[in-house]
Amino acid sequence: MTYVPDPLVLPFTDGRRAYTGEPLLVRGENLNLAADASDASVTVGDQPCNVTSLALRQLVCVPPTDASGPQEVQVGALVLAAATLVAGVLYRRRSTAASQQFKRVQQQMNNMENNVRTECKQAFAELQTDMSDLTSALEHGRVIIHEHKTYVLNVLFPGAPDHPVGKDTLPVGFTVGVKTAMAQFEQLLTNRNFLLMLLEALESQKTFSSRDSVSVASLLTAVLLPRMEYLTSIVAGLLLRGRPATPRTLTRRSDTTLLERLLTCWLSVCLYEELREGGPAGRLLLLVRALHRLTERGPVDALTGAARYSLAESTLLKEQVDYKTVVVHASLNSNPSTLTCAALSCDTISQVKQKIIDRIFSSSADSHKPAPQDFDLEWLNGRGGRLTLSDTDLSSVTLHGWRRVNTLSHYGLEETARLALVARHSDEYTNYSEPYSNPVTHIYATPELTLPSSSAGYASGASSGCEPQPAQIYHLSRSASAGTTKKDELKQPIPEIYLTRLISTKGTVHKYIEDLFSALLSARHLPAPVRWLFSLLDAPPPPEPDGQPARRTAADVAQSRAWKAGVYGVRVWAALLRHPWTVYDVRRSQSFDASVAVVADTFVEALLPEGPGPHRDLSAERLLFVKDMERYRAAAAKFFSDVQLEPAVSDQEMSGLLQHLSGRHAAMLCTPVAAQELFTYVTRHWPAVRRAAAATDPVLLAKLESIHYAYHGQETSFSN
Q: Average pLDDT in the 88-111 region?
A: 80
Tell me if domain 271-314+496-541+551-649 and domain 322-475 are identical in fold.
no
- Cut 0.85: pTM above it: no
Q: Kindly tell me the sign of the dihedral angle through the C-alpha atoms of 129, 133, 139, 143.
A: negative
Highest mean pLDDT among 201-210, 238-247, 537-546: 201-210
Instruction: List all residues 6 or more positions away from 565 whose beta carbon is below 8 Å from its beta carbon.
Output: 250, 251, 607, 608, 636, 640
DSSP run (H or E) holding 359 = helix 349-360
Query: Under a CB-based contact definition with an 8 Å cutoff, are residues 698 and 706 in contact?
Result: no
Q: What is the DSSP string of 94-157?
A: HHHHHHHHHHHHHHHHHHHHHHHHHHHHHHHHHHHHHTHHHHHHHHTT------HHHHHHHHHS
Instruction: List all residues 6 or more positions away from 653 whose beta carbon is below 8 Å from its beta carbon.
Output: 528
DSSP β-ladder status, 416-423 and 325-332? parallel
Highest mean pLDDT among 71-75, 403-407, 478-482, 586-590: 403-407
Give the model's pLDDT for residue 270.
93
Domain 271-314+496-541+551-649, CATH number (from 3.40.630.30, 1.10.506.10, 3.40.1110.10, 3.40.50.2300): 1.10.506.10
Instruction: List all residues 6 or more positions away from 694 whose beta carbon is below 8 Å from its beta carbon.
Output: 701
Give the model's pLDDT for residue 714.
47
Higher pLDDT, 445 or 550: 550
Query: Under a CB-based contact definition with an 8 Å cutoff, are residues 611 and 629 in contact?
Result: yes
Determine the topology of domain 322-475 in CATH: Ubiquitin-like (UB roll) (3.10.20)
Higher pLDDT, 239 or 517: 517
Q: Nearest to residue 620, comparing CAs of 510, 513, 499, 480?
A: 499
Instruction: List all residues 6 or more positions away from 552 whose beta carbon is below 8 Å from its beta carbon.
Output: 540, 541
**In the chain, domain spans:** 8-62, 163-270+658-720, 271-314+496-541+551-649, 322-475
Give the model's pLDDT for residue 550.
63
For residue 370, report the phi and psi dihedrals to the nearest 5 degrees: -65, 160
Give the model's pLDDT for residue 232.
95
3-state secondary structure at position 474: strand
317-349 pLDDT, tens per residue? 888 888 899 999 998 887 878 899 999 999 999
Report the percentage of the chain scoring pLDDT > 70: 78
For residue 240, report the phi and psi dihedrals to the nearest 5 degrees: -75, -30
Give the model's pLDDT for residue 465.
41
Q: Average pLDDT in the 483-490 region?
A: 53
Q: Kindly tell me the sign of the dihedral angle through the C-alpha atoms of 125, 127, 133, 138.
A: negative
Determine the topology of domain 163-270+658-720 in CATH: GTPase Activation - p120GAP; domain 1 (1.10.506)
Q: How many CB atoms lie within 10 A of CB 570?
A: 25
Query: Under a CB-based contact definition with an 8 Å cutoff, are residues 286 and 131 in contact?
Result: yes
CA distance 89 to 101: 18
Q: Which range among 72-76, 103-107, 651-655 shows the weakest confidence by mean pLDDT?
A: 72-76
